[in-house]
Amino acid sequence: MLVVPADAAATAANILGNELLFRLELALSVLAVAFNLVRMALGYVLFRPVGRIVTLISAFIGLVAVALQASSILFELPVLTVLKSEAGFAGFSAEQLQSLALIFLRWNAQASNLYLAFFGFWCMVGGYIIYKSTFLPRILGVLLAIAGWATPPTCGRRSRTPCTPGTWPWASASWCWVSGSSCSA
């Protein structure tokens, strides 16, 4: 774990010692935003026959969630700059720069929690849509809605959601492929 919540110096040492891992996490976060945008668009197109209004609501909630996800990444971008360029921040001590980096990471965590809350709402609406569809098993919709209800911000802690982004569209597509369904409502 790179971030030590109560220790800015240990967090800075972890990040600087594992800079490649931190940069990889940033790159994967940006990639996740791109995948989530594609997932929202495909979900709208595929499930529109189930109900135009409810899929539009789902797409809107999903786009808000993706916007929040993208904005949470913005708080991680300055961390390496703050930790590595002491010359650019000559008015600050090393401890102050480490604390500033930790503040950015805490803001990232708060923005991620807000994203997960909207993602949980999207899972609940998506579960309803899948439940109402005629081409997927209803149990997938029920499970997705339960996973959305159990999203970590509703549990009061920051961890990964049981309804991980990308899982349900692949499960839905796999079901359509295995069952030989035409996947139309």
For 21-52, how does the pLDDT look when each residue is reduced to its tens digit (9 = 90+)?
Answer: 999 999 999 999 999 999 999 999 999 999 99
Distance CA 4, CA 140 (A): 37
Domain of residue 148 covers: 8-179
* Residue 16 domain-assigned (yes or no): yes
In the predicted structure, residue 131 carries a pLDDT above the cut 90: yes
* Residue 185 domain-assigned (yes or no): no
* Residue 2 domain-assigned (yes or no): no
DSSP string across 133-169: -SSS-HHHHHHHHHHHHT-HHHHTS----SS-TTHHH
* Residue 23 domain-assigned (yes or no): yes
* Residue 37 domain-assigned (yes or no): yes
pLDDT range class, residue 160, cuts 50, 70, 90:
very low
DSSP string across 82-94: HHH-TGGGTTS-H
* Cβ atoms of residues 139 and 111 within 8 Å: no
| Mutual angle of helices 94-132 and 19-47, in 10-degree steps | 20
Count of structural domains within the chain:
1
Tens digits of residue pLDDT in 64-119? 999 999 999 999 999 988 988 767 787 888 888 889 899 999 998 888 888 888 88
Tokens representing residue 50 in the block: 């189930």
* Residue 1 domain-assigned (yes or no): no
